[in-house]
Structure 1
Amino acid sequence: MDVNHFLISSLLERWRLETHTFHFPHGETTVTLKDVAILLGLPIDGDVVTGPTTVQDIFSTFHEYLGVIPPPTVIRGNSIRVTWLNTTFQQLPPNANNDVIAQYARAYILTLIGSILMPNTSVARVHVMYLLKLADLNVVRNYSWGSAVLACLYHCLDHGIHLRQENICGCMILLQCWAWEMITSIVPQLQPLSDQEVVDGDGFPVCRRWTNVTHRINSASISVTEFQLRFDQIRTRQFLWRSYIQPEVSRLIVVDIPPVSIATVPIIASRQ
């Protein structure tokens, strides 16, 4: 999926560090754990993704978990080039045993983390600390990867606002699909997926419904100025406060969303 940088830039202008929300004329809103679970299909309830950020011997670490020793040219500090992972683990060899399959699975997940889910500003390298969490593939699903992705996105948006960076790190696909699902005035028109496509799994995670170009109609590019104007003129009915309840979207959601994504909190108001 191509990222619309005009859209991302226009959203970034409305991000506020103090509240971690986007400010629009009708109120504040933000990406939540529920959005991550539905749009990306990642677990949002589980063990925290945390641990050491350095290793004593990075080459031995890669040999242990990936079965190969990368050349020094693709290593910088505690990170490795994503392109090297793509090239080295592009095709699973025939008659691969369980150990080799696990090594390729780790490399694939590491590539997803470094290029899509939690990329840095260059989208060129991924940190070895994530490989350590993939040591035992049987417990990988027990981690709250969705929480890590959302925390990374918040951090990247904060960092981008503070330093006025040209490139923003974090999961831009999540942010873009969230905007398309929520703000009707900027959404590309889509033909609904057929019942068979839904059965085949083409609609979940819900981000997938935006990746099939055969379903796009009149998806012409909109300039930053046009996005800014549409955000300035947005009306209450053009923002879907109760998201994912539309029939064309709700029928795509095939998992139960953990209650951890919902909280009841008091409203605090102050007089100026």
Structure 2
Amino acid sequence: MSISLEDVSILLKIPVTGKLVAVENFARYTEESRSHAIKLVSKLLGVNIEDVEEEMNISKGLIVRKCWLKSRWCPKASSTDTTYPPVECTAWAYLLYLLSCTLFANKSGSRVSIALLKLLEDLDDVDKYAWGATALAYLY
């Protein structure tokens, strides 16, 4: 017996029908896709381009580390910096982190695909995707 779309719908209460979850620009690692990913992270998460480039060099791909992502919006208690990013940037970061920890967790447990951020670019469309079908396909 295997998990079906009906099981996903009932257990997770997420849509199994809707817009296709596909990110064509990030299918292969190229200089163009890397440049696009850096610009996307910088724009949506409010991080300067140099910091994003450094993180992607460390991560070696179209990914960022969860600890880097979390450190951008969860200041340490010992930090004296009390400035916070705009609410939208925090929302994108949190949703990216949440998706990478739940529906699209990988065996590394420490990295997040930038492709997921592309899906979150228009927050008004997030609820229109077939997240359940995509999560089931990712699981298989």
Alignment deviations for residues 101-159 of structure 1 (CA, whole Å, 9 cap, x no partner): 221111111112222211221111111111111111001111001111100111xxxxx
Alignment deviations for residues 206-257 of structure 1 (CA, whole Å, 9 cap, x no partner): xxxxxxxxxxxxxxxxxxxxxxxxxxxxxxxxxxxxxxxxxxxxxxxxxxxx
Say if 1:102 and 1:137, in contact at 8 Å, map to a contact too.
no
Say if 2:5 and 2:136, in contact at 8 Å, map to a contact too.
yes
Q: How does 1:100-179 map to 2 (within 5 A)?
A: 100-154=86-140
Say if 2:34 and 2:62, in contact at 8 Å, map to a contact too.
no
Distance 2:11 2:70 in 1: 24
Higher helix share: 2
Whether 1:85 and 2:69 are equivalent positions in the alignment is yes
Alignment deviations for residues 16-74 of structure 1 (CA, whole Å, 9 cap, x no partner): xxxxxxxxxxxxx1111122222222111100100221524132221111111345145
Cα distance, 1:76 vs structure 2: 2.2
Distance 1:36 1:56 in 2: 33
Say if 2:21 and 2:134, in contact at 8 Å, map to a contact too.
yes
**Structure 1 length-normalised TM:** 0.41
Q: Which residue number corresponds to residue 78 of structure 2?
A: none
User: RCO (CA 8 Å, sep 6+): is it higher in 1 or 2?
Assistant: 2
SS in 2 for 1:117: coil
Q: How does 1:48-63 map to 2 (within 5 A)?
A: 48-52=20-24, 53=26, 55-57=33-35, 58-63=37-42
Work out the percentage of aligned pairs sharing the same amino acid: 31
Q: Which residue number corresponds to residue 192 of structure 1?
A: none
Larger Rg: 1
Q: How does 1:202-221 map to 2 (within 5 A)?
A: none
RMSD: 2.3
SS in 2 for 1:104: helix
